[in-house]
Amino acid sequence: MNALLYFILIAMGPIAIGGHFEFNNVRCLVRDRKFMEFDYCFLRSVNRTYKYLSLKTKLHKLPITNTVTSVQVRIRENKRILYNFDVRFDACKFLRDRRNVIVNWMFQTFSEFSNINHTCPYHHDIILDKVPVQHINKIVQSVVPDGRYYMNSSWSVDGIPRCDLVVYFTKS
Ligand SMILES: *[C@@H]1O[C@H](CO)[C@@H](O)[C@H](O)[C@H]1NC(C)=O
Ligand SMILES: *[C@@H]1O[C@H](CO)[C@@H](O)[C@H](O)[C@H]1NC(C)=O
Ligand SMILES: *[C@@H]1O[C@H](CO)[C@@H](O)[C@H](O)[C@H]1NC(C)=O
Indicate whether 15 belongs to any domain. Answer: no
Half-sphere exposure of 169 (CA within 13 A, CB side): 25
Q: Binning pLDDT at 50, 70 and 90, where does residue 1 land?
A: very low
Indicate whether 64 belongs to any domain. Answer: yes
Indicate whether 16 belongs to any domain. Answer: no
- Give the model confidence (pLDDT) of 110-150 as tens digits: 999 999 999 999 999 999 999 998 887 777 766 677 788 89
- Give the model confidence (pLDDT) of 10-30 as tens digits: 444 444 445 677 888 999 999
Indicate whether 24 belongs to any domain. Answer: no
| 3-class state of residue 129 by DSSP | strand
Q: Indicate which residue's Cα is closest to atom 10 of ligand 2.
A: 117
The yes-or-no verdict on residue 6 having pLDDT over 70 is: no
* Start-to-end C-alpha separation, the chain: 25
Burial group, residue 25, by CB count within 10 angstroms (0-12, 13-18, 19+): exposed
Q: How far apart are CA 110 and CA 116, in angstroms?
A: 9
* Total domain count, the chain: 1
- The CATH number of the domain holding residue 130 is 2.70.220
Q: How far apart are CA 3 and CA 12, in angstroms?
A: 14
Check pocket membership of 45 for ligand 1, CB cut-off 6 A: no
- Give the model confidence (pLDDT) of 34-64 as tens digits: 999 999 999 999 988 889 999 999 999 999 9
C-alpha 78 to ligand 2 mean position (Å): 38
Domain boundaries, position 94:
2-7+30-171
